[in-house]
Amino acid sequence: MTLNIKQRFAVVGIYLSLILGIGYYFSQDWKFLFDTSNHLNVILIVVALSLVFGVYISEPFFTKPIDVISKWITILLFLIGLNSNDCMLLYNYWLIASFVFICSGLLLVLFQNNNRFEKQQRIAIDFICKISRPEIIFTLLYFTVVISFFQYKPVEFPILIGFGFLLAINKPIVWVVKFATKLFTNITSKSDLSKFIGQVIGHESEDLYRVEIPFDNPFRQKTLKGELVYLENIKNGVVGIVLSERILLGKKWLEIISLRDANKNLISFDISSTLPLTGGKSIFSKTNAVFQLDVSALSEELKVTLGSNNIRKNFKNLIGIVWEGSTINKIKFNKLFSADLQDERKIGEGSIIQTTIAKEEVLYQIIDGRTDEENLEFKDTHGYIIGTAQKIGKYFIEEKELNTVKWLPEIYTPIFLLKVTEEEYNANEYIGKLPNTNYGIPIKKPHELVTHNTAILGILGIGKSCLTFEILKKLLATTDVKIFCIDLTNQYTKELPKYFASNIIQIDFAPVRLAALKAGNVDGHPDNPSTWGNEALYRTTIKNEIETFINSDKRVLTINPDMHNVSKAGSAFKITHKTELSPAEKARIISERLIVKAASLGETSDARFLIVFEEAHSLVPEWNSVSNAGDVSATNGTAKVILQGRKYGLGSLVITQRTANISKSILNQCNTIFALRVFDDTGKQFLENYIGSEYSNLLPTLEERHCIAIGKAMKLKQPVILQLNDKNEIEL
């Protein structure tokens, strides 16, 4: 049955009128209403009325065992009180049926908590409830009484039989009621602009409210997200837009937000004249009725106002609203976009979203999400997603940087996915951009990449070297720095010419000096360690090579310590053999020669020399990762150079794939960090001190060519996920 409660009462009213009319027609007075000896009273008042009230009022949907008992007791009392029971057909059978169903119902109620015969109880309950439906038993009783008392009355019999069939099939009356309801609704509609959708049942704020669509409303079958509606507010229509739809157990709810003009006034109109109104402090009226809005019927002025509303014109990028639990630095948002749009809209970790703080557009970056649920009605729940986004500030296109915006957005403020701008993006000007945008992040202070040290961390094959070469290219273009690349892989020799001119690159030391170094690697006196190996000659060679390189027009020197034949005495006394210097020990000697040269040039705030530690876990290992005791001292010596080098314009670029195995004394000196995909817990825990736990938890899932960047050189006051430049964009 698809009638609502008002329609069911209307049907009962029609049947009641027919019952009274038939009774008055045959008896010519109203005494039959109270005369129990009158057969019309028996059939119309007792039987027909019970049938009507049972079908449309008391049990319109289903029958319970307790209803079975009450109905059969009513029938039993009717049979016992019948004056002419000897004239009634099947009288004894009706008595027996009454006792059987009453006793059955009582037994089922008595043993309802007995699990022993649970299956049999369900079958029995289903049987007696279906048999005892009012449209079955009262219809049978009605026809039994009519045939028993009126079969020999030529006028009453056909009319009462016909009325009985009308009761049984009931469709004509139902159709009349539905038709009248539809006609009445159309006639009494206050506006041709819309159609009735539902009623407001709750609101979270002045602008955000929830609407329930009635069971029989045709809008239940339509998709309304993004549709314009209006709330009837006495004589005004307050315009809103449907944010989301929720369906559960046959019910449908809408979440609607009111639209406001440029002055933050509610957009509203006069329902009768559609003239725009001003002001408007509240959206809630006495009726709380919501209607679909036909924009074409509005005034031109109102159309322009609606067209300029940010929510409406940018609705396809709307992804949610600010939710409870938001803070100054992070916001929570209730996701409204559909799951099937996720790939299309690029929603996920790192996505840039936009909302408003005191009329100012502010950017946030999604860093986390969780599922949750809410109670819709009784025990019905609705699942949804709550996202977390970090405030990154407002992007100024001319300055090409993110600036801080204070405070936080109001709760339920709409949030949009940042639209891709038409701004031209030149990879040579930026180190990367905000994901899926053209908002580039440049290196604002290239000198501080050197003087304040930089680290690039990430697993093997994730793009660390490519990022390193790009940074070196940008440093060469913006500073006068001389770069010393300590590279154990020989990768720099092959790859650097792809990024800048090869004529500014020097490949290792001069061959003649390397040959002399090899020739000087000799055995010495057993009691004199200084006569063994060529460590002293190596220091002199490095000093001379540094002087030559600095005084040349070369800008980059690649050094592979593994190719340098350097050794020292194997013991302090009674020496019998030499030992090779480890890469960490050679890196220390190179670093110490460089700071001596930098100090001789005096103090400066500009970048002079940059030491690139490729495979830094081998060049400056952590104390628990060294291969020999000498590496501990060597790493400490290199760390001392990095610590003191800033005032002389000396700095380092540390690249490693194993954060756990690199000296933390050196990493802690790195003011600018580029963190690519990392899996090890040590690396995540170390980076957590720089970027926070939310961002460190994202490290294992970072996409290719993405990193989490933070640092003074880029003027980033908080960590940001960047989409790095493609290799093809930065190679020559």
Tokens of 427: 């990879």
SS3 423: coil
Residue 407 has pLDDT above 70, yes or no: yes
Query: How large is the average pLDDT for residues 334-354?
Result: 67
Query: How large is the average pLDDT for residues 594-607?
Result: 93
SS3 169: helix
Is residue 255 packed enough to be buried (19+ CB in 10 Å), middle (13-18) or exposed (0-12)?
buried
| Residues ≥6 apart with Cβ < 8 Å to 320 | 333, 334, 335, 336, 337, 387, 414, 415
SS3 555: coil
- More confident: 699 or 41: 699
Q: Give the number of other Cβ atoms within 10 Å of residue 41's Cβ.
A: 18
Of the candidate ranges 1-5, 211-215, 597-601, the one whose mean pLDDT is the lowest = 1-5
Residue 256 has pLDDT above 70, yes or no: yes
- More confident: 654 or 207: 654
Residue 673 has pLDDT above 80, yes or no: yes
Residue 295 has pLDDT above 60, yes or no: yes
pLDDT at 343: 47
pLDDT at 281: 42
Q: Say how far apart CA 139 and CA 148 lie, in whole Å.
A: 14
Q: How confident is the model at residue 103 (pLDDT cuts 50, 70, 90)?
A: confident
Q: At what angle do helices 134-150 and 65-80 cross, to 10 degrees?
A: 10
pLDDT at 171: 66
Write down the H helix ranges in 82-207: 91-110, 118-131, 134-150, 156-169, 171-188
Question: What share of the chain in percent tops pLDDT 70?
Answer: 85
Q: Say how far apart CA 660 and CA 683 lie, in whole Å.
A: 6
C-alpha dist (Å) from residue 517 to 225, 512, 540, 541, 548: 77, 9, 10, 8, 17
Q: Say how far apart CA 365 and CA 392 lie, in whole Å.
A: 7
DSSP state of 664: H
Query: How large is the average pLDDT for residues 526-548?
Result: 87
Q: How confident is the model at residue 293 (pLDDT cuts 50, 70, 90)?
A: confident
Query: How large is the average pLDDT for residues 305-325?
Result: 86
Q: How confident is the model at residue 598 (pLDDT cuts 50, 70, 90)?
A: very high
Residue written as tokens 């919501």?
290
Query: How large is the average pLDDT for residues 236-257?
Result: 82
Average pLDDT, the chain: 81
Whether the CB-CB separation of 575 and 532 falls below 8 Å is answered with yes
Highest mean pLDDT among 528-542, 554-568, 675-689: 554-568
Residue 475 has pLDDT above 80, yes or no: yes
pLDDT at 210: 87
pLDDT at 48: 61
Q: Which helix (H) or strand (E) holds 389?
A: strand 380-396
| Residues ≥6 apart with Cβ < 8 Å to 194 | 229, 230, 237, 291, 292, 293, 294
Query: How large is the average pLDDT for residues 628-651?
Result: 90
Question: What share of the chain in percent tops pLDDT 90?
Answer: 24
Residue 488 has pLDDT above 50, yes or no: yes
Q: Say how far apart CA 376 and CA 386 lie, in whole Å.
A: 17
Q: Which helix (H) or strand (E) holds 689?
A: helix 681-696
Q: Say how far apart CA 339 and CA 279 lie, in whole Å.
A: 38
- More confident: 177 or 547: 547
Residue 391 has pLDDT above 50, yes or no: yes
Q: How confident is the model at residue 554 (pLDDT cuts 50, 70, 90)?
A: very high
C-alpha dist (Å) from residue 328 to 105, 366, 388, 420, 524: 64, 15, 12, 26, 69
Q: How confident is the model at residue 63 (pLDDT cuts 50, 70, 90)?
A: low
Query: How large is the average pLDDT for residues 678-697?
Result: 83
Of the candidate ranges 369-378, 554-563, 578-587, 651-660, the one whose mean pLDDT is the lowest = 369-378
| Residues ≥6 apart with Cβ < 8 Å to 207 | 257, 258, 260, 283, 412
Buried b (16+ CB within 10 A) or exposed e, 458-468: bbeebbbbbbb
Highest mean pLDDT among 101-105, 159-163, 239-243, 375-379: 239-243
Cα 155 from chain centre: 73
Q: How confident is the model at residue 379 (pLDDT cuts 50, 70, 90)?
A: very low
Query: How large is the average pLDDT for residues 101-115?
Result: 76
pLDDT at 364: 93
Query: How do beta strands 432-433 and 440-441 pair?
Result: antiparallel
Query: How large is the average pLDDT for residues 402-408?
Result: 90
Q: How confident is the model at residue 128 (pLDDT cuts 50, 70, 90)?
A: confident
Q: How confident is the model at residue 339 (pLDDT cuts 50, 70, 90)?
A: very low
Q: How confident is the model at residue 190 (pLDDT cuts 50, 70, 90)?
A: very low
- More confident: 712 or 55: 712
pLDDT at 277: 46
Query: How large is the average pLDDT for residues 723-728?
Result: 90
pTM to 2 decimal places: 0.68
Of the candidate ranges 142-151, 255-264, 558-567, 718-727, the one whose mean pLDDT is the lowest = 142-151
pLDDT, tens digit, for every residue of 452-469?
999 999 888 888 899 999
Query: How large is the average pLDDT for residues 11-31?
Result: 74
pLDDT at 50: 67
- More confident: 466 or 96: 466
pLDDT at 275: 42
Of the candidate ranges 181-195, 457-471, 577-591, the one whose mean pLDDT is the lowest = 181-195
Query: How large is the average pLDDT for residues 691-702?
Result: 87
pLDDT at 176: 75
SS3 580: strand
Residue 208 has pLDDT above 80, yes or no: yes
Q: Which of 654, 671, 653 is nearest to 709 (CA)?
A: 671
Query: How large is the average pLDDT for residues 153-161?
Result: 80
Highest mean pLDDT among 287-301, 529-543, 620-634: 529-543
Bridge partner residues of 390 (DSSP): 330, 365
